[in-house]
Amino acid sequence: MKKDFVEQLLQQWAEERPGLDVSALGVVVRLQHLGKLLAQRANRALRQHELKHWEYDVLSVLRRQGPPFEMPATDIARAVHLTSGAMTTRIDGLENRRLVTRRRSGSDGRSVLIRLSANGRKLVDEALHTRLEDAEDVMQHLPDTERAELAACLRKLLTGLES
Contacts of 13 (CB under 8 A, 6+ apart): 20, 22, 25
Closest CA to 38 of 141, 163, 159, 120: 141
Closest CA to 5 of 101, 95, 25, 104: 25
- For the domain with range 51-139, which CATH number is right: 3.40.50.2300, 1.10.10.10, 2.60.40.10, 1.10.10.60? 1.10.10.10
Name the percent of the chain lying above pLDDT 90: 87
Contacts of 5 (CB under 8 A, 6+ apart): 33
**Predicted confidence (pLDDT) per residue in 112-159, tens digit:** 999 999 999 999 999 999 999 999 999 999 999 999 999 999 999 999
**Predicted confidence (pLDDT) per residue in 52-63, tens digit:** 999 999 999 999
Q: Are 121 and 129 in contact (CB under 8 A)?
A: no
